[in-house]
Amino acid sequence: MRSHGEVAGQESLPFDAPAGSPRPHQDRRVAADPDRPLTIRLGGELVRTRGWLAGTEVVLDPTRRPLRTDVVVAREKGVLVAGVVDRQFGRLVLRNDRGVIWIGLGAEIVGVVEVVAPVLDVARRPEVPGATSAR
């Protein structure tokens, strides 16, 4: 059976479809300001993996696309999670001390870690060589 463009006895409907204006394309992601760094204080999820204690501050680059083995901060269901980017069974995952977190379609990558500021804790500060200790 072949279809033909238009048959002589077949006319178009007597009404025209309303001419609606096309919807403007709205990007859900807000463009990040590259001049303003994003600083976040991490929890204890990267202590064993990277040696970063709880309270470590990181500066994120929200414009950079994460690559494998990059440390990123993601927002999954309103919760911020930090981890190392990897792939498992073809899906994007974050690996940290708590295990593997599968990144779903609703997740948002907040940014890739660029700079790490260690916790300045007096109790964990190494001793100064040559100083006398009262032990």
Cα gap 78→59, rounded to integer Å: 20
Cα gap 70→53, rounded to integer Å: 18
| pLDDT, tens only, 41-93 | 888 888 887 888 888 889 999 999 999 999 999 998 888 889 999 999 988 89
Q: What CATH superfamily classification does 38-120 receive?
A: Umud Fragment, subunit A (2.10.109.10)
- The more confident residue out of 3 and 122 is 3
Cα gap 11→38, rounded to integer Å: 61
| pLDDT, tens only, 17-33 | 666 666 666 555 555 55
**What percentage of the chain reaches a pLDDT higher than 90?**
21
pLDDT for 78 equals 86
- The more confident residue out of 78 and 16 is 78
**Residue ranges of domains in the chain:** 38-120
